[in-house]
Chain A
Amino acid sequence: MSGGRVYLDHAATTPVRSDVVDVVAARLRMLGNPSSLHASGREARKSVEESRETVAAVLGARPSEVVFTSGGTEADNLAVKGLFWARRAADPRRNRILASAVEHHAVLDAVQWLVEAEGASVEWLPVDRLGRVDLAALDAALNRDPQTVALVTVMYASNEVGTVQPMAGVVEAARTRGVPVHSDAVQAVGQLPVDFSATGLDAMTVSAHKVGGPMGVGALLVRREVELVPVLHGGGQEREVRSGTLDVAAIAGFAAAVDAATAARAEEAPRLASLRDALLASVLAAVPDAVLNGDAHADGRLPGNVHLSFPGCEGDSLMLLLDARGIECATGSACSAGVPEPSHVLLAMGVDPLLARGSLRFSLGHTSTEGDVEAVAEAIGPVVERARTAGLVNLARVS
């Protein structure tokens, strides 16, 4: 809690750790472009390379496999477009992209762009009611013609409903056919044990601000032997894959944050899971017909995620009412013009569109407390009751 606010939107962004603030501030005072050859440049480069080594070490990658980016969206774009272009350049038959139907928009829209602008064809892999990708469908899609698949992309864990994907199965299916796999692991790092090399992934997206680092920095981990066509051209930084002067301070903060989050994970994940379970139980006690979306089993779900649908309610009514009480959460919906639309993730899971509109995501993180859970327990009953009245008013008047 801060300033009387109950922050339960850690999946959107989580508070920057105070030691990370110090690291970033100290680096901002340093001079030097890491590409410069003089002493100041060398100092900056030393900082970046130490950060790279830290990120690599805690995520099970080699330092040379870390490509720093401006964040998760850029890393997803680089992976999807970069892999597609490189694979198709090597063999023009490779025109198909297999992607789960529940990807983040950074993957979804990058794929869609390739379809519209580059003539790619996409097969959206279906998910089950819990949001898990259908491995049989992946197998079948690969089998149709493995030679023509450019890449497979399946997120590590859902930013919306918290469902953990069967990554081992995805990787095995693709690798036996020689097809590279990318995974957006933005929500997984810090909450699940993530070891890049052990997963067998070819590329994996990571973001700093979801683990207590600054916004505007992240990385794509890419296996050394995987070729990528760059999205950004320029000075040739980051293995010629991602040009642009490196943000030394942000990268240092990223490394410090991912290090801290990973080190704390063994204790933090069970703590979050128990807060999560308490939050879920108290909401269900106050609103018995609320429906949990995603996997109810502990190991199938991110420890910090509670995603619920409230029948008869509009998600934005619920959010407005909770916001007015200082409780901050998300409707978990795509919001381009600020206009809420039913989430593509929930629709892919087969959730009724009307029910999907009445959904809220509470996401816990390193600053969450029992007090936060108690605040929700107290507010949710009256808020849902009120939102239901508003929902009924709307339904009744639609002519």
Chain B
Amino acid sequence: MRVLAAMSGGVDSAVAAARCADAGHDVTGVHLALSSNPLSFRSGARGCCTLEDARDARRAADVLAIPFYVWDLAERFRAEVVDDFVAEYAAGRTPNPCLRCNEKIKFTAVLDRARALGFDAVCTGHYARVVEGPAGPELHRAVDPAKDQSYVLGVLTGDQVVQAMFPLGDTLKTDVRAEAAQRGLAVAGKPDSHDICFIADGDTAGFLRHRLGEAPGDIVDEAGRRVGTHDGAYAYTVGQRRGLRLGHPAPDGKPRYVLGISPVERRVTVGPAEALGVDVVVAVAPRWCGDAPAGSIECLAQYRAHGTAVPAVVDVADDAVTARFQSAQHGVAPGQAIVLYDGTRVIGSATIGRTMSAVRA
């Protein structure tokens, strides 16, 4: 097959491309330039979009002796990922830009262009597995639980998974590094990327303040009493404990968490851990990896990137899903994706809209 390998400049995508070429595919490497001003992005090894990363990717492609190009997707990335990220926070939600980038950039903009140029598939260094199932290729969790990225790929439809290759899904990260070193790839020891690639210093609150301006308001407790102030409700995430800067300790002395964000009233509500408990999640804009399930299904649900999947009963409608957890969950933030699994298989995902607590309802 003719395969387009997305190469970020990191060790994972380099080894993925190498494995793809070893498997006998005709591989072409592409680095995605996602910033119109690459210097404004995170420098060094932590991000994925710097000039240095482009050079690392090109060097890896040269070592693998595959063609290499840079595709300028800065405008699409800004429109589809960065602006959406800001708008979601402004609406009081907590978006996951990696999911969005996979959906809109890597497996739409890049995949579409690759297909049009005659490529059969797009290969990335994500830790996930594509497994041949009875109804066609299925998306599964990686074998390395610490690196599994099936959550951020949960937005892929069946059609997209069919055209995706994730050669690292069956390997532990430590083995990938060793393999990179063995292959003579200089990125073997390059640190993993973390955080959000388009926020140069890792200061998300500062980035949002710059984009949205200061919008001070009150932090209130469950009874509506003012317990503090904030510079912008958008900087908070449901379930957040740190950085609340509350003047007075809670009467019971226990830590308080963000329970809810009301951007219009510029109000952040805080309360004790017990009040965070969520039993029911209504999530919108579902995307299915394969055929959409019908009616009510029992499955596992994961509601944040680095969380575990918990048992849930999910009612499926056309434009929304309602997930009922067996036990109350903490830190369920609107805007995040809820990804549904059957064992290790990704069934689909949706964006968390509302959450409800059975106890308090």
Q: Is A381 at the interface (CB under 8 A from chain B)?
A: no
B115: A residues at CB distance < 8 A: 393
Contact between chains at A321 and B117 (CB < 8 Å): yes
B residues contacting the other copy or chain, number (CB 8 A):
25
What are the 9 closest A-B residue pairs judged by CB atoms, nearest first? Answer: A390-B116, A338-B70, A389-B116, A393-B116, A339-B33, A393-B112, A339-B72, A390-B117, A337-B38
Contact between chains at B69 and A320 (CB < 8 Å): yes
Q: Is B28 at the interface (CB under 8 A from chain A)?
A: yes
Which DSSP category, helix, strand, loop or mixed, fits chain A's interface? helix
Closest Cβ neighbor of B71 among chain A residues:
A316
Nearest chain A CB to B113 CB, angstrom units: 5
A–B complex contacts, Cβ < 8 Å, 27 sampled:
A316-B69, A316-B71, A317-B113, A317-B117, A319-B69, A323-B67, A324-B28, A324-B67, A337-B51, A337-B70, A338-B58, A338-B69, A339-B33, A339-B38, A339-B70, A339-B72, A340-B70, A386-B116, A386-B117, A387-B117, A389-B116, A390-B113, A393-B112, A394-B113, A397-B108, A397-B112, A398-B75
Q: Is B255 at the interface (CB under 8 A from chain A)?
A: no
Distance, CA A148 to CA B70, complexed state (A): 43
A339: B residues at CB distance < 8 A: 33, 38, 70, 72, 74
A residues contacting the other copy or chain, number (CB 8 A):
21
Q: Is A399 at the interface (CB under 8 A from chain B)?
A: yes
Contact between chains at B113 and A399 (CB < 8 Å): no
Closest Cβ neighbor of B112 among chain A residues:
A393
Give chain A's interface residues, CB within 8 Å of chain B.
316-317, 319-321, 323-324, 337-340, 386-387, 389-390, 392-394, 397-399
Greatest chain A CB density within 10 A among B72, B80, B109, B117 is at: B117
| Inter-chain pairs besides A316-B71, A320-B117, A397-B112, 4 sampled, C-beta below 8 Å | A339-B72, A389-B116, A398-B76, A399-B80
* Contacting residue for A340 out of B72, B76, B113, B117, CB 8 A: B72
Closest Cβ neighbor of A338 among chain B residues:
B70
B184: A residues at CB distance < 8 A: none
Distance, CA A274 to CA B326, complexed state (A): 79
* Contacting residue for A386 out of B79, B80, B118, CB 8 A: B118
Closest Cβ neighbor of A382 among chain B residues:
B118
A323: B residues at CB distance < 8 A: 67
B80: A residues at CB distance < 8 A: 399
Nearest chain B CB to A36 CB, angstrom units: 39
Distance, CA A319 to CA B108, complexed state (A): 22
Distance, CA A389 to CA B38, complexed state (A): 28
Distance, CA A319 to CA B28, complexed state (A): 13
